[in-house]
Chain A
Amino acid sequence: MSSAQLQDAMDGWDPAPLSGLTDEEFIFLSERTRASRTQVTTDIDDAVRQALDHVPRLLRRPIKKLLGV
């Protein structure tokens, strides 16, 4: 069942409320869910990198240490 793919993409969330969708539709939502999760992680990394460029030099080191970068 493709609903299991969405359940997997959602770390175990039960997709029962979406019952009635076709396999193809479940697969689409699974792929977009995974893409969103990856995107958020990538966006945070990019945002932190860019933000550090704008941080006053004096505070850059402690902030980098805090963020672990």
Chain B
Amino acid sequence: MSTELLELRAERLRLARRLGVTPGELDFLDRLPAQALRTYRHALEDLLFDENGERFAKVMQAAGLLPKPVAARIAVRAIPPTMTAMMSGLLSPQDAAEFASHMPTSYMADLAAAADPRRVGHLVPHLGRSVVIDGAAELVARKDFVTAGLLVGCLNRAYLADVLTAISDPADLFEVALLIDDKSVLDDIMDHLSDADIEVLSERAVELDMVPLWESLADHCRVDNADRARRILQDVQSRS
């Protein structure tokens, strides 16, 4: 499997969520580049936001009349996470953090799966530590690596180590790492991992027949990290 195919699958999944269809119904898009799907999805997200922006703003204004714990409780009971995801981009980082602290992890994970990182990515580093860590763990437990990859790409370094610790299975971490948009965080991840962890990641890559992808991840790392990844991968390959 190539990086392009992996990105294409991730894009197809995100687009399917937005269009309310199954990813299988969009199989025909596989012959287009991932960038084409992303361009269409972004245009659609913008259109949906722009034509409802005024109403979203009014709902957020109304929420401002309520104590935040009450507003958060009402949102969880009455507002679909797909909708909250669209509106949350209108919040200040401080308000976003407070609302999120009163929402259950499952709701936050649903919200994250529907969110457009272009609108809400800047809020993630301001959320409470437990909100982010529990959210990431929930996404990984659901095997929603596409959203987990987006989340990890939005994290600041202070949270990254905790989130990586929360993803206890290195095999899951491998799936997440493949789908991280912002590859510049890969060195932070590598710095956090022991050689034993990298060995498990390498074994997973061999098992899934994804060695070229594992190597392409290493290409994004510093020389010392890239060398370490390749050396351990070679050891694993020589044993298998």
List, in ascending order, chain A residues with CB within 8 A of B20's CB: 32, 35-36, 39
List, in ascending order, chain A residues with CB within 8 A of B44's CB: 10, 33, 36
B61 touches A66 (CB 8 A): yes
The answer, among A20, A47, A68, for a CB contact under 8 Å with B78, is A47
Interface of A is mostly: helix
B65 touches A43 (CB 8 A): no
Instruction: Indicate if B6 sits at the interface (CB-CB under 8 A).
Output: no
In the complex, A40→B83 CA distance in Å? 8
Given contacts A44-B55, A66-B62, contact A15 B74 (CB under 8 A): no
Q: Interface size on A (CB < 8 Å)?
A: 36
Instruction: Indicate if A67 sits at the interface (CB-CB under 8 A).
Output: yes
List, in ascending order, chain A residues with CB within 8 A of B56's CB: 44
The answer, among B31, B59, B73, B77, for a CB contact under 8 Å with A67, is B59
Instruction: Indicate if B237 sits at the interface (CB-CB under 8 A).
Output: no
Closest to A33 in B: B44
Choose among A13, A40, A63 the residue with the greatest number of B CB atoms under 10 Å from its CB.
A40
Could you mark each residue 74-87 of chain B with 1 if its beta carbon is under 8 Å from any beta carbon of chain A, else 0? Answer: 11011110110010
